[in-house]
Structure 1
Amino acid sequence: MAVKLSTGYVRASGYAHKVRRVLFALARKKVEPKEIIRASAELNQRIFEEFQRLNVSKEDVVRITVDFRIKDGSIVWDYDSLRIEVYRKGEEERLAKAMEEVEERERELEEKIKAIEEVALNLKKLTDELIERIEELKQEHTSLKLRAEE
């Protein structure tokens, strides 16, 4: 099964650290930490080569995505899926719009999660109340049976 690594928006100067952090988050408990370090170093070298080919400067903002899979305890990169979006320093307006869109989607997601959590809490309260009433009915029924037997 393929997993997608996505750095989100990051300055080109900080991509290597971000790749390593994201990979640790995705592969933790699935492979050994030294394998994550090895695989992130391998990917970062490939990204660096692509940066040189694309003339990416350290001030540019990038978003990197690539698929990988875990095979026999090793991380195997699908380099054909490697995508590097580059936002040149002079394109800050375009990046600002993209960042606004990301932030708006995150806010919407947080609001939806909060609403679902409220529904879950209400359901739990109702469930507890139903269980309590069922227990009361059982007790009443049991006491009625006992009285009838007297």
Structure 2
Amino acid sequence: MRLSTGFVRASGYAHKVRRVLFAVTRGKVEPKEVVRAAGELNQRIFEKLRELGVEKSDVVRITVPFSIKEGTIEWDYDGLEIEVYRKSEEENLARAMEEVEERERELEERIKELEELVLNLRETSEQMLEKLEELKQEHTSLRLRAEE
């Protein structure tokens, strides 16, 4: 298997690694293991970024192969690749990243809106079921009274 962050600002790589790893391993390993493995990888990436003199505003793309053995994520650090696009050298990429980040924020906002709608629908559905049960009970008691 392979983890790939896509383009991300260096300041946000750790969050992206964790999110991507959760997505790639969903249902294959325990969440606790994902957190552990992401932390381990992020530490290694941090050291590499420091060695490369990467600035927080630079853009990086990180890929690393891994395997899952007995519920444990094992990184192939020999295959770790970090592409660096320096803001000072890549103004166009930096502008593109700003667009990507804006779209991600918009997507997260829309997801939150949908989650709220789902919760409201669930609540409304439960209220409708309660009213329906009340009507059934009233109808049944009316029928019983009519039969008396």
1:88 paired to 2:86: yes
Give the aligned partner of residue 47 of structure 1. 45
Residue 90 of structure 1 and its aligned partner are, at CA, apart by 1.1
SS of match in other structure, 1:38: helix
Alpha-carbon separation, structure 1, partners of 2:45 and 2:82:
8
Q: Deviations over 1:54-79 (max 9, x none)?
A: 00110100000000000010000000
Unpaired runs of 5+ in structure 1? 100-150
Q: Deviations over 1:70-113 (max 9, x none)?
A: 001000000000000000111224636987xxxxxxxxxxxxxx
SS of match in other structure, 2:27: coil
1:1-150 aligned at under 5 Å gives the runs 3-93=1-91, 95=93
**Amino acid across the alignment from 1:71:** K
RMSD over aligned Cα, in angstroms?
A: 1.9
When Rg is computed on C-alpha atoms for both structures, the one with the higher figure is 1
CA contact (8 A) 2:59 2:94 kept: no
Alpha-carbon separation, structure 2, partners of 1:11 and 1:98:
11
Alpha-carbon separation, structure 2, partners of 1:66 and 1:79:
7
Unpaired runs of 5+ in structure 2? 98-148
**Amino acid across the alignment from 2:61:** R
CA contact (8 A) 2:87 2:94 kept: no
Q: Deviations over 1:30-74 (max 9, x none)?
A: 000000000000000000000110001101000000000000100
Identity over aligned residues, as a percent?
A: 72
